[in-house]
Amino acid sequence: MTELRERPKPFLLPEFCKGCGRCISACAKHCIEYGKEINPQTGLVPVVVDLDQCNACGLCITACPEPYGLRESPVAHDFELEDPEKLYGTRHSTAPEPVDIPPEIIPLPPSEPLVIKGNYASAIGAILAGCRHFYGYPITPSTEGAELMAKLLPLLDGVFVQAVSEVATVNHLYGTGGAGLPCMTFTSSPGFSLMLEGISYMIGAEVPGVFVNVMRGGPGLGNIAPEQSDIKLGVRGLGHGNTHAIVLVPSTPQEMLDLTILAFDLTFKYRNPVVILSDGYLGQMTGKVTLPRTMRKPGIPKWAVYGDRNHRKNLISSIYLSETDLEKHNEYLNGKYASMAVETRAESHLCADLDVLLIACNTPARAAKGAVEELRNRGVKAGLFRPITLWPFPVGQLLPIAKRAKRIVVVEASAGQLEDEVRIALSRTEVRDLAPIEHVRRMGGVLPQQDDIVGKVKRPYAANKAAARRPEVHA
């Protein structure tokens, strides 16, 4: 029976006891009873322990749900009963302060240009940006991206997971992004809708990840032809809460590659997801793509929950229970969104001297560019402004051009979602004497064609206005 004596008896600080009594029935020796006195510090009634009969079986300890409730008494010598700090000494977490492991830039040999689809270009951009983790759910017209990743990543000892749904996909990204590694998905509109919940969590918890949404026709199942009707989701609808993310809108296969690489930079720079809004047409479009001369090997940022000693201190969470803490967090996030203003990007084509300003992004920007050329050939001084970031909107670049324009025509494959962004951005500048905004809109998978645009511009503004008096859904 000597070992029995070596086994420590239980010990309880009354203020850590919730008085649940689970220890009472655990003790065969009836050493523990319900107490009768309310503990003044907790307002609870702790149990009373009398160890006379105790055989140190430890069963009461195993029965206590509280980490600091019943526990083994320290070696029996004198101690100050009331002060846990003195009792056990201060045992701070032994985890070290996390440090950044920086990414590496690796030179690439020169290459002839590739001739590839937009979706492939984006996937290759991700690989060159150091992404070795892909999660996704097949959805047309985005699947080529996932398929290429499925082919290449295993050959690079990377990870391709076909998720059970888009809901699971975004949460895989939350895990891998939370572990500090670059990861991405390809999806299309209905799938993007499903990811919004998780994107809100990622923004709240400051988790990086790249979302390529190859937009298709909606609402509902719609069709698989190109549309731009997720602009509102990307720019103003990233799930619940005060959310924003940089939204990039490529218009060529080359930009699918370049902007994907950029997206990985930005997602880590800001610890915030980045959304690439492409369209079904661009995803399928083959074009010339020049490769960069470097690629990235990612590091592990110091905030990551990687699952090693260096990062043990960390927490990825979007919970701020107290209202003031959550307000502070929102203020911090909003400050971060504001700091993204330096990332605005846009391209202008023949805007130095113009009368008619076309504004378009994605594939419609290419039809608009064609229209600009055609109109110039016919003596109309047209120009194109093409936002490359939709959020933040490049209004600083747009405003000086818009001021010179006599007419502004927004060209888009949606019911005015791009125009809303243009109007919001311009209205915030407080400049009031701009030309009225007209539009060329197609929907349902039909893209605005060069002829539509040229036709619109060739009609005088007054005629367009009369035509527009026909009832229209958009206010």
Q: Find out whether 199 and 243 touch, Cβ atoms under 8 Å.
A: yes
Q: Does 18 bind ligand SF4 (CB under 6 A)?
A: yes
Site string for ligand SF4, 151-170 (x = CB under 6 A): --------------------
Q: Give the count of beta carbons closer than 10 Å to the beta carbon of residue 42.
A: 14
Q: Using CB distances below 5 to 8 A depending on partner kind, what does residue 129 bind out of ligand SF4, another protein, none? A: none
Residue 30 sits at φ, ψ, to 5 deg, of 55, 40
Alpha carbon distance 99, 311 (integer Å): 8
Q: Using CB distances below 5 to 8 A depending on partner kind, what does residue 140 bind out of ligand SF4, another protein, none? A: another protein
Q: Which of 36, 39, 42, 69 binds ligand SF4 (CB under 6 A)?
A: 69
- Output the six-digit token pair for 85: 């700090």
Q: Give the count of beta carbons closer than 10 Å to the beta carbon of residue 154.
A: 11
Closer residue to ligand SF4 in complex, CB, 7/309: 7
Q: Does 54 bind ligand SF4 (CB under 6 A)?
A: yes
Q: Positive or negative CA dihedral for 459, 460, 461, 466?
A: negative
* Torsion, CA 315, CA 321, CA 323, CA 324, rounded to 10: -40
Among 52, 70, 56, CA closest to 1: 56
With CB under 6 A as the contact rule, which of the stretches 61-69, 220-228, 256-264, 266-274 interacts with ligand SF4? 61-69
With CB under 6 A as the contact rule, which of the stretches 21-29, 289-297, 326-334, 421-429 interacts with ligand SF4? 21-29
Minimum distance from CB of 34 to ligand SF4 (Å)? Answer: 8
Q: Does 17 bind ligand SF4 (CB under 6 A)?
A: yes
Minimum distance from CB of 197 to another protein (Å)? Answer: 6
Minimum distance from CB of 6 to ligand SF4 (Å)? Answer: 13
Q: Using CB distances below 5 to 8 A depending on partner kind, what does residue 217 bind out of ligand SF4, another protein, none? A: none
Alpha carbon distance 175, 262 (integer Å): 22
Alpha carbon distance 332, 203 (integer Å): 12
Q: Using CB distances below 5 to 8 A depending on partner kind, what does residue 55 bind out of ligand SF4, another protein, none? A: ligand SF4
Closer residue to another protein in complex, CB, 18/232: 18
Closer residue to ligand SF4 in complex, CB, 67/110: 67
Q: Which of 13, 15, 20, 39 binds ligand SF4 (CB under 6 A)?
A: 20
Q: Using CB distances below 5 to 8 A depending on partner kind, what does residue 373 bind out of another protein, ligand SF4, none? A: another protein
Cβ partners under 8 Å of residue 395, min gap 6: 344, 425, 426, 428, 429
At 86 the three-state DSSP class reads helix
Alpha carbon distance 200, 257 (integer Å): 26
Alpha carbon distance 12, 31 (integer Å): 13
Q: Using CB distances below 5 to 8 A depending on partner kind, what does residue 54 bind out of another protein, ligand SF4, none? A: ligand SF4
Facing residues of 251 across strands?
Answer: none
> Which residues lie near ligand SF4 (CB under 6 A)?
9-10, 12, 17-23, 26-27, 29, 31-32, 46-47, 54-60, 63-64, 66, 69-70
